[in-house]
Amino acid sequence: MFKSLSLFTLLLASASSVTSTDAEAPKYLDIKAVCKQTPKLGLFGQLLEERPDIYAAYVDLEDKTFYLPSDDALNAYYAATGNIFRRAVDDVAKASYQYVNGQVDLNTAREKKRLAQKSGDNKNTVVISNNASRRKRQLQLGNDTVTTAGITVSTGLGTKSEILFGDIQCTQGLIQVVDTLFEIPVPIIETLDCTDGSEFLSALKDTDLANTYNEMGNVTFFMPQDGSFEANSTMDCASVQRHVVENQALYTPDLKDGDVIESASGENLYVNILDDEFYMNCVRVIKSDNIVSNGVIHTLEKVIEPMSAPPSCWAKNTTVVPPPVKFTGSASTNQVGRMLAIVGSLTALFFAL
């Protein structure tokens, strides 16, 4: 009896031990070790080795998704900035902007057409876009040609970072490898200076709105592209404010087909989405999710005109049912024949029931 009980207890303890062992989370290498061992990512691992201050910004993190630059991307950054990433203290902030909270694998990013997450300690937003259907392409990575994952991440100064490959596990979370470093968002005036927004910036300054919107929290700008303004024309205050939504940062995940948004001028803006492209009052958005420190800029192909009712372009995304035809005179022989055929079919169906 006691022997059987002891054997049962031993088996139960063994089973519990096996279950406990099986349930343990898998052990992954530290982010620095993973980078150093991963082809095309070794240069960032070397950076973490050489810059303890940057490594310190990563080592204690948990459950993050890191968007780390490939060797080619980091070399391009070094060349463009005079190797500044290796010595500038401010680049710790830039390094801290290369990740988002939570683990966003490639399948999740593809399933969710667009996804906004807070990034790093500075809480700036990035927007992750599934563009596999239209913009998946091949890139030369060193001596190799790789097919991109078809996913782009939008950050500051109009930067679009394309994911090359990823879903690499490390102790701190998940690594995706990108072709361009993220850019930290800056205020609207500086952003427009750097991203072909000089005409809209001039309109903001002419109407004394530039500083107001530079300091306001949560603003959305629908900016007409340079060259779309009429020559020698100026936009009055109401015209400029028609392109602004105050107290809301509306990234593409926030815009839904059929939305009606009130602009700063008090006029309605009508949102239409057709074939994954966004329209505001029938004006196409040609560049989306240019992140600024206090909101977002979407670039339009031309100036928005005021509309007092939903625009006709909404019909492009709607099934239109024509009204019934009213007979005002005699019908043709073909029309009569078709009507008799329909009546006959309905009569046969009635008697069959």
**pLDDT tens digits, one per residue of 205-251:** 999 999 999 989 889 999 999 887 765 466 789 999 999 999 999 99
**237 versus 85: which is more confidently predicted?**
237
Q: Which pLDDT score, from 0 to 100, does residue 67 have?
A: 94
Determine the Cα–Cα distance for residues 326 and 192; give it in Å rounded to an integer.
56
**Which tokens sit at 194?**
């750097």
Structure token digits, residue 200? 């809209």
User: How far is the CA of 122 from the CAs of 11, 126, 185, in angstroms?
Assistant: 52, 12, 10
Q: Which pLDDT value is given to residue 140? A: 57
Range 67-78 average pLDDT: 92
Whole-number pLDDT of residue 144? 61
Is residue 201 very low, low, confident or very high in pLDDT (cuts 50, 70, 90)? very high
**Which of 277, 317, 272, 280 lies closest to 300 in space, CA to CA?**
280
Greater confidence (343 vs 97) lies with: 97
CATH number of 188-317: 2.30.180.10
- Could you tell me the residue ranges of all domains in the chain? 31-178, 188-317
Q: Is 241 helix (H, G, I), strand (E, B) or coil?
A: helix
Same fold, 31-178 and 188-317: yes
pLDDT band for 86, please (50, 70, 90 cuts). Answer: low
Distance CA 168, CA 36 (A): 13
Mean pLDDT for the stretch of residues 158-166: 91
Q: Give how far the C-alpha of residue 347 lies from the chain's centroid of Cα atoms, to the nearest Å.
A: 56
- pLDDT at position 179 over 80: yes
CA–CA dist 332, 346 (Å, integer): 21
Burial class (CB in 10 A: 0-12, 13-18, 19+), 140: exposed
Q: Does domain 31-178 have CATH number 3.40.50.2300?
A: no
Of 96, 166, 88, the C-alpha closest to 128 is: 166
pLDDT in tens, 247-284: 999 998 889 999 999 999 999 999 999 888 899 999 99
pLDDT digits (tens, 9 = 90+) for 14-29: 445 444 444 566 789 9
Looking at the predicted structure, is the pLDDT value of residue 119 above 80? no
Q: On the CB side of 100, how many CA atoms lie within 13 Å of its CA?
A: 20
The pLDDT value given to residue 20: 46
More reliable by pLDDT, 77 or 9: 77
138 vs 292: which has the higher pLDDT? 292
Residue 310, pLDDT score = 77
